[in-house]
Structure 1
Amino acid sequence: MFHYTVETDKSMKEAMESLETNLKDDKFGVLWQFDIKDTLQKKGFEFDQPFNVLEVCNPKEAQRVLSQNKLVGYFLPCKIVIYEDEGTTKIGLPRPSSLIQMIEDDSLKEFALDIENRLIACIDKTK
Structure 2
Amino acid sequence: MKRLITLVVILSAITVSNINGQKMDKYYFSKTLNLPFEEASDKIKAALAEQQFGIVTEVDMHKKFIEKGIDANAKPYRLLGACNPKLAYDTVLAEENIGLFLPCKVLVKYIDENTTEIVMIDPTVVMGTLGNPELIPAAEKVTKSFKAALDKI
Instruction: Give the TM-score taking structure 2 as reference length.
Output: 0.76
Tell me if 1:82 matches 2:108: yes
Tell me if 1:53 matches 2:53: no
- 2:149 maps to which residue? 122
Tell me if 1:10 matches 2:27: no
Alpha-carbon distance in structure 1 between the residues aligned to 2:151 and 2:37: 15
Q: Please list every run of 5 or more consecutive structure 1 residues that lacks an aligned counterpart in the other structure.
A: none
Kindly state the Cα deviation for residue 43 of structure 1 after the two structures are TM-superposed: 1.1
Alpha-carbon distance in structure 2 between the residues aligned to 1:113 and 1:8: 25
- 1:28 maps to which residue? 53
Q: Please list every run of 5 or more consecutive structure 2 residues that lacks an aligned counterpart in the other structure.
A: 1-25
- The 1:71–1:24 alpha-carbon spacing in structure 2 relative to 1, beyond 3 Å, is same
Alpha-carbon distance in structure 1 between the residues aligned to 2:55 and 2:96: 22
User: Which amino acid letter does the alignment assign opposite residue 81 of structure 1?
Assistant: L
**For the aligned residues, what is the CA RMSD?**
1.4
Larger radius of gyration: 2
Instruction: Give the TM-score taking structure 1 as reference length.
Output: 0.90
- 2:5 maps to which residue? none
Q: Percentage identity across aligned positions?
A: 24
Conservation of the 8 A alpha-carbon contact between 2:90 and 2:138: no
SS at match of 2:129: helix
| Stretch moving more, 106-115 or 48-57 | 106-115
Tell me if 1:95 matches 2:119: no
Tell me if 1:38 matches 2:70: no
Alpha-carbon distance in structure 2 between the residues aligned to 1:17 and 1:85: 16
